[in-house]
Amino acid sequence: MLDISKKQRDELQSWYLRHFAYFQIESIKGPLVVAKNIICNKKYLIRVGEQSTIVKVGDVYIGSLVPWNGEWYWSGQQAGFGELPLNDLEELGKEFIQKAPQIAYRYCESLLEKAKKSIKLHYRNFVEFHGDDLAVFSDGYAMAAAVQKQHRTEYEARSKELVKEVMKKYNLKNPYPTYSYPQELLDSDNGIGLFFNQDEGQEIMLGFNDVLRGFKKKGVRLTEEEFESIRGFIESEAISPDFVKKLTKKYGAESVSGAFLLRDIESIDYLNYILRKYKSNHFRKRYPNLSFN
């Protein structure tokens, strides 16, 4: 409805991907400041208006920026830290990448490419070990043991020299990663579905036995447990459309329509409608769920 250009429309639609980072002020030009993103060293021309009178060159701020007409604007609140030593800036950058990599991928292209290559490698290793991108386990302990065995197998296949080098570099007691699972997950004994989304990473669904039984019934005579499990599977924001489509490709989508009482509606693409209704965040730009040391 707005009388704006396509470029402006694209900018508006990108605002959900705010550039959240630490920024250091490099220069002040009237109502504009030039700031450097210390995560990726990218520079931003920010229109701050009268606020330019209260900032100083060298000051560091944390906050979010959005683009508009060739400039950037603060979105939301910012926190200032004054001037910081170079070592502190480097540590803040490293910590940010470790704790919030999916935000850093929005503006750090080199880091994003590294993550994409790494996630593809992890995906191939997962499929090679489990035989598919979906592995089903009887309980949480069985899943944890299988994942641990997978990673041990991967590291045992590497040269001992390389393994020693990695262990020394990161001060590791074991060459393979260690995981800490919630007790609820370990105690789950009604089946666990472990799916590897090749673009983002692993997804876990508890109570997977009921989900599988329900899908296999193709929507006919679903038990209350199967009915609720399928709805939970679909409605969970943590489960991607790819995971759902993995099951519908193998067993059909009849149980999805049955669980959502859409059995008699054949003239619409109900699966796509349901996925977009409950998993709309997955239809936006997303990034690998992977961090780097």
Nearest C-alpha neighbor of 223 from the set 231, 215, 214? 214
Q: Are residues 103 and 116 in the same domain?
A: no
pLDDT at 152: 85
| Cross-strand partners of 46 | 33, 72
Assess if residue 293 is contained within a domain.
no
How many domains would you assign to the chain?
A: 2
User: Hey, what amino acid is at 179?
Assistant: Y
140 to 149, 158, 173, 182: CA distances (angstroms) = 14, 28, 25, 10
Backbone φ and ψ of 146, nearest 5°: -65, -40
As a whole number of angstroms, the distance between CA 214 and CA 221 comes to 9
pLDDT in tens, 175-210: 666 778 899 999 999 999 999 999 999 999 999 999
**CATH number for the domain that contains residue 62:** 2.30.30.140
Centre a 10 Å sphere on the Cβ of residue 160 and count the other Cβ atoms it contains. Answer: 10
- One domain, residues 98 and 239: no
End-to-end CA distance of the chain: 46
**47 located within any domain:** yes
Looking at the structure, tell me whether residues 144 and 65 fall in a common domain: no
Range of the domain at 168: 112-283
Could you tell me if residue 252 is inside a domain?
A: yes
Confidence at residue 269, expressed as pLDDT on a 0 to 100 scale: 80
25 and 86 part of one domain: yes
Residues 227-245: tens digit of each pLDDT: 999 999 999 999 999 999 9
- Please identify, among 107, 122, 140, the residue that sits at the C-terminal boundary of a domain: 107
CA distance 281 to 275: 10
The residue among 90, 107, 124 that closes a domain is 107
Note whether 187 and 91 are same-domain residues. no
Neighbours of 170 (CB within 10 A): 9
Q: Residue 166 domain-assigned? A: yes
**What does the pLDDT read at residue 103?**
96
Number of H helices, E strands in the chain: 12, 8
Q: Which residues of the chain have pLDDT under 70?
A: 162-163, 166-167, 169-177, 263-268, 293
Residue 1 lies in a domain: no
